[in-house]
């Protein structure tokens, strides 16, 4: 990119990052509705598959996108947060939007930002200007309309009812597993969180549900009854039929809505990713054919084989093996621990963890304790990172003091873990697993020189 274009990209990033981050939310659709109305409602120019849930949203969205592309569709994909570059959040046909296109999308919405900001500050009804996520949501709509795309796969940022993405009129809605997270905004119970996630469901719009714990399932089904929606549910109308480990991932068979799909290679680890694949396939079947007929199995296989999900049980290097995972709540940490125990033949696992303030740190650490032999607690680059000393106290109460080391600087913590693994590698395979948040993963990928794959 030319120097002036590079400078322009930097200016746009600064402008976006000056706005309220995703961790600070003023629950309302009024601001985003006003903005997209001024833009001419670009989000109505293409069909949308809309996803909400606590865990698995990004991986499932990426799988849906990959399968749809295997059928020749030009796709848009909107996910969050990013690992390294803001452009990763808005993708066209499986690739992050170019910096030039990112700037164009910002320039499309920029003339209206001050007007919307002023209107709601002046009204006193909200007292907040547009957040970074709201602006980027509008940018994604603009970029997808300009492309144009045949379909957009759009992931909620937080919640559902008042998430900025919930201005779309979806062709299909998807709800991935619901657990406890973002309690400050969504509530402390599964039921209250499910009520917010259920807000993306629309009357007469097909819905695809991942397997849910009972309180969430009850809320979702009650909402479906109210809206006249008949959902398809993992474990009932579709699901994973077979699953065996394979080099670099797993081989699965899925009982889809239209029939059995055999010999699918999924280059991702863990039973939870197989489950995500089943949900993704049901969403693709629903969108492409109403779920009434078997899709071309070869296209389905090629779509899943091409799936990438950086930062999700992602091996970065070997000798010793380093794995990163964005698990940031107990449910995600349980999936991580299960996948590490199943997919990797480690004689010892050294964990490196850094989590954000406000997260269920104890629940996260308790989830991995049966599989991880020792834990190094540290801090990531975010100002919201929990202090290593505080996290260390929690970890020691779970693992025992003799299995926990506190190292404030993440690069030093990673080096310490690698040294410990090197000392033991003569006895067999040793794994270093770094986890706790997307920021933690991004920091480690930067430090070890890995780019988004």
Residue 146 belongs to a domain with what CATH number? 3.40.1190.10
Question: 236, 258, 288: which is the final residue of a domain?
Answer: 236
**Residue 263 located in a structural domain:** no
Are residues 82 and 219 both part of a single domain? yes
Specify the pLDDT at position 377: 98
- Of 200, 221, 236, the residue at which a domain comes to its end is 236
Q: Are 66 and 183 contained in the same domain?
A: yes
Tell whether 43 and 131 lie within a shared domain.
yes
Domain identity same for 208 and 339: no
Indicate which CATH number applies to the domain containing 320.
Answer: 3.90.190.20
Q: Is the pLDDT of residue 428 over 90?
A: no
184 & 326 share domain: no
Is there a single domain that holds both residue 172 and residue 39?
Answer: yes
Distance from CA of residue 409 to its chain's centroid? Answer: 26
Residue 249 has pLDDT above 70, yes or no: yes
Q: Among the three residues 187, 216, 236, which one is the final residue of a domain in this structure?
A: 236
| pLDDT the model gives residue 125 | 47
268 inside domain: no
Q: What is the count of structural domains for the chain?
A: 2
- Arithmetic mean of pLDDT, 412-438: 90
Q: Are 42 and 144 in contact (CB under 8 A)?
A: yes
Cα–Cα distance for residue pair 160/152, rounded to 1 Å: 17
304 within some domain: no
- Full DSSP string of 123-159: H-SS--PPPHHHHHHHHHHHHHHHTT-SEEEEE-SS-
To the nearest whole percent, how much of the chain has pLDDT over 90? 85
Same-domain pairing of 231 and 327? no
Cis peptide before 299 (omega within 30 of 0): no
pLDDT tens sequence across 115-149: 999 888 755 544 578 999 999 999 999 999 999 99
Mean pLDDT to the nearest integer, 411-426: 91
Residue 272 has pLDDT above 60, yes or no: yes
CA triple 217-218-222, angle to 5 deg? 115
Q: So what's the pLDDT on residue 126?
A: 45
Assign 453 a pLDDT band (cuts: 50, 70, 90): very low
Task: Detail the DSSP E strand segments found in 43-137.
Answer: 48-52, 75-78, 90-92, 95-96
Residue 259 maps to a domain: no
pLDDT score recorded for residue 186: 62
32, 151: one domain? yes
Regarding whether 168 and 41 lie in a shared domain, the answer is yes
pLDDT-derived band of residue 381, with 50, 70 and 90 as boundaries?
A: very high
Cα–Cα distance for residue pair 60/209, rounded to 1 Å: 12
- With respect to residue 73, please indicate whether it lies within any of the assigned structural domains: yes
Yes or no: say if 45 and 148 are a contact pair by the CB < 8 Å rule.
Answer: yes
The pLDDT score that the predictor gives to residue 274 is 98
- Distances in Å between the Cα of 415 and the Cα atoms of 310, 337, 409 are 22, 22, 10
pLDDT at residue 1 above 60? no
Query: Count of CB atoms within 10 A of residue 419's CB?
Result: 11
Does some domain include residue 286? no
Q: Which residues contact 374 (CB under 8 A, 6 or more apart)?
A: 350, 351, 399, 403, 404, 405, 420
d(CA 233, CA 181): 23
Picking from 130, 91, 135, 112, the residue whose alpha carbon sits closest to that of residue 39 is: 112
pLDDT value of position 42: 98
State the residue range of the domain holding 426.
314-448
318 shares a domain with 231 = no
pLDDT value at position 427?
64
Instruction: Write the CA distances from 181 to 61, 154, 355, 437, 439, integer angstroms.
Output: 19, 20, 13, 13, 17
Other Cβ atoms less than 10 A from the Cβ of 204: the count is: 8
Q: In the predicted model, what is the mean pLDDT of the chain?
A: 93
pLDDT tens digits along 31-72: 999 999 999 999 999 999 999 999 999 999 999 999 999 999
Asked if 46 and 149 sit in the same domain, the reply is: yes
- Calpha distance 368→442 (Å, rounded): 20
The answer to the question of residue 338 being in a domain is yes
pLDDT (average), residues 237-246 = 97
Q: How far is CA 173 from CA 12, 60, 160, 237, 301, in A?
A: 32, 12, 11, 16, 23
Cα–Cα distance measured from residue 42 to residue 33, given in angstroms and rounded to the nearest whole number: 11
User: Are 191 and 337 in a shared domain?
Assistant: no
What is the tens place of the pLDDT at every residue in 156-181? 998 899 999 999 999 999 999 998 76
Q: CB–CB of 370/337 below 8 Å?
A: yes
Q: Is residue 141 part of a domain?
A: yes
């Amino acid at each position: 990119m030319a120097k002036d274009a590079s400078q322009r990209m930097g200016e746009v990033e600064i402008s976006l990052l000056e706005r309220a981050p995703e961790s600070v939310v003023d629950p309302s659709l009024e601001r985003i509705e006003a903005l997209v109305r001024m833009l001419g409602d670009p989000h109505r120019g293409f069909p949308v598959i809309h996803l909400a849930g606590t865990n698995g949203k990004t991986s499932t969205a990426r799988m849906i996108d990959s399968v749809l592309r295997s059928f020749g569709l030009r796709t848009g994909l909107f996910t969050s947060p990013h690992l390294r570059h803001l452009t990763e959040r808005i993708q066209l046909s499986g690739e992050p939007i170019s910096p030039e296109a990112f700037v164009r999308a910002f320039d499309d919405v920029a003339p209206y930002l001050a007007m919307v900001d002023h209107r709601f500050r002046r009204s006193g009804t909200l007292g907040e200007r547009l957040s970074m996520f709201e602006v980027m949501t509008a940018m994604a709509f603009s970029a997808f309309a300009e492309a144009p795309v045949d379909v957009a796969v759009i992931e909620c940022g937080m919640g559902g009812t008042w998430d900025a993405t919930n201005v779309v009129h979806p062709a299909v809605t998807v709800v991935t597993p619901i657990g406890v997270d973002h309690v400050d905004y969504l509530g402390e119970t599964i039921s209250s969180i499910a009520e917010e996630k259920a807000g993306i469901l629309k009357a007469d719009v097909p819905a695809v549900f991942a397997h849910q714990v009972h309180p969430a399932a009850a809320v979702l089904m009650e909402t479906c009854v109210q809206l006249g929606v008949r959902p398809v549910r993992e474990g009932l109308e579709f699901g994973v039929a077979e699953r065996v480990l394979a080099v670099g991932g797993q081989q699965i068979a899925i009982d889809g809505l239209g029939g059995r799909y055999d010999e699918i290679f999924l280059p991702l680890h863990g039973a939870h990713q197989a489950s995500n694949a089943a949900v993704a396939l049901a969403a693709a079947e629903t969108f492409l054919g109403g779920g009434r007929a078997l899709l071309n199995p070869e296209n389905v296989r090629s779509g899943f084989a091409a799936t990438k999900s950086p930062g999700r049980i992602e091996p970065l290097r070997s000798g010793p093996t380093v794995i990163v995972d964005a698990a940031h709540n107990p449910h995600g940490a349980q999936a991580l621990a299960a996948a590490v125990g199943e997919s990797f033949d480690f004689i010892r696992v050294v964990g490196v963890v850094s989590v954000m303030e406000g997260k269920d740190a104890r629940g996260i650490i308790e989830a991995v304790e049966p599989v991880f032999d020792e834990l190094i607690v540290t801090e990531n680059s975010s100002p919201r990172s929990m202090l290593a000393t505080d996290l260390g106290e929690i970890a020691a109460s779970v693992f025992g003091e003799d299995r926990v080391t506190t190292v404030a600087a993440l690069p030093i913590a990673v080096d310490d873990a690698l040294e410990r693994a090197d000392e033991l590698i003569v006895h067999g395979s040793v794994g270093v697993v770094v986890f706790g948040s997307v920021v933690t993963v991004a920091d480690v990928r930067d430090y070890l020189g890995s780019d988004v794959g």
